Structure 1
Amino acid sequence: MHSDTAQDRTPTATGPSAPTWDPQQYLRHAEHRARPFVDLLARIPELPGRPARIADLGCGPGNVTALLADRWPQARITGFDLSPEMLRRATDEYSGPTAGGGVLEFRRADLADWLPEEPYDLIVSNAALQWVPNHPASFAVWTNGLRPGGTLAFQVPGNFTAPSHAMLAELCDSPRWRARLAGLGAHYVHLCEPAEYLARFTGLGCAVDVWETTYHQLLQGPDPVLDWVKGTALRPVLTALGDDREAADALLTEYRDLLRAAYPTGPRGTVFPFRRIFVVARKDG
Structure 2
Amino acid sequence: MRDWNCDLYLKFERERAQAARDLLSRVPPLAPRKIVDLGCGPGNSSAILSLYYRCDEILGIDRSPSMIKAARARLPAANFVEADLAQWTPEAKVDLIFANSAIHFAPSHEKLLPKLLSFLKPGGVLAVQMPNVLQDPAHALMRMVAVDGPWMEKLAPVAKSRAAIGSIDDYYAWLSPHVQHVDLWQTVYVHPLNGHDEVIDWFAGSALLPFLDRLGDDESAAFLAHYRRELEMAYLAQDDGKVLLHYPRLFFVAQV
User: Normalising to structure 1: TM-score of the pair?
Assistant: 0.85
1:84 matched to which residue of 2?
65
Q: How does 1:1-285 map to 2 (within 5 A)?
A: 18-47=1-30, 49=32, 52-96=33-77, 104-185=78-159, 188-221=162-195, 223-241=197-215, 244-268=216-240, 269-283=242-256
3-state SS, counterpart of residue 223 of structure 1:
helix
Give structure 1 stretches of 5+ with no counterpart: 1-17, 97-103
Choose between structure 1 and 2: higher helix proportion: 2
**Which deviates the most, 217-226 or 19-28?**
217-226
CA contact (8 A) 2:195 2:237 kept: no
How many pairs were matched up?
Answer: 255
Runs of 4+ that moved beyond 4 A: none
CA distance in 1, matches of 2:114, 2:30: 19
CA distance in 2, matches of 1:116, 1:20: 25
3-state SS, counterpart of residue 180 of structure 1:
helix
Give the percent of matched residue pairs that are identical in Structure 1 and Structure 2: 35
Cα-to-partner distance string for 1:125-179 (whole Å, 9 max, x where unaligned)? 0111111122331211211110100000100001110010011012112352221
**Which deviates the most, 71-80 or 219-228?**
219-228
Give the superposed CA RMSD. 1.5
Amino acid at match of 1:245: D
CA distance in 2, matches of 1:174, 1:133: 27
CA contact (8 A) 2:34 2:55 kept: no
CA contact (8 A) 1:223 1:260 kept: no
CA contact (8 A) 1:57 1:80 kept: yes
CA contact (8 A) 2:179 2:254 kept: no
CA spacing shift, 1:93–1:186, aligned 2, 3 Å: farther
CA contact (8 A) 1:57 1:111 kept: yes
CA contact (8 A) 1:208 1:281 kept: yes
Give structure 2 stretches of 5+ with no counterpart: none
Cα-to-partner distance string for 1:26-53 (whole Å, 9 max, x where unaligned)? 111111111111100000012254xx20
User: Normalising to structure 2: TM-score of the pair?
Assistant: 0.94
3-state SS, counterpart of residue 157 of structure 2:
coil
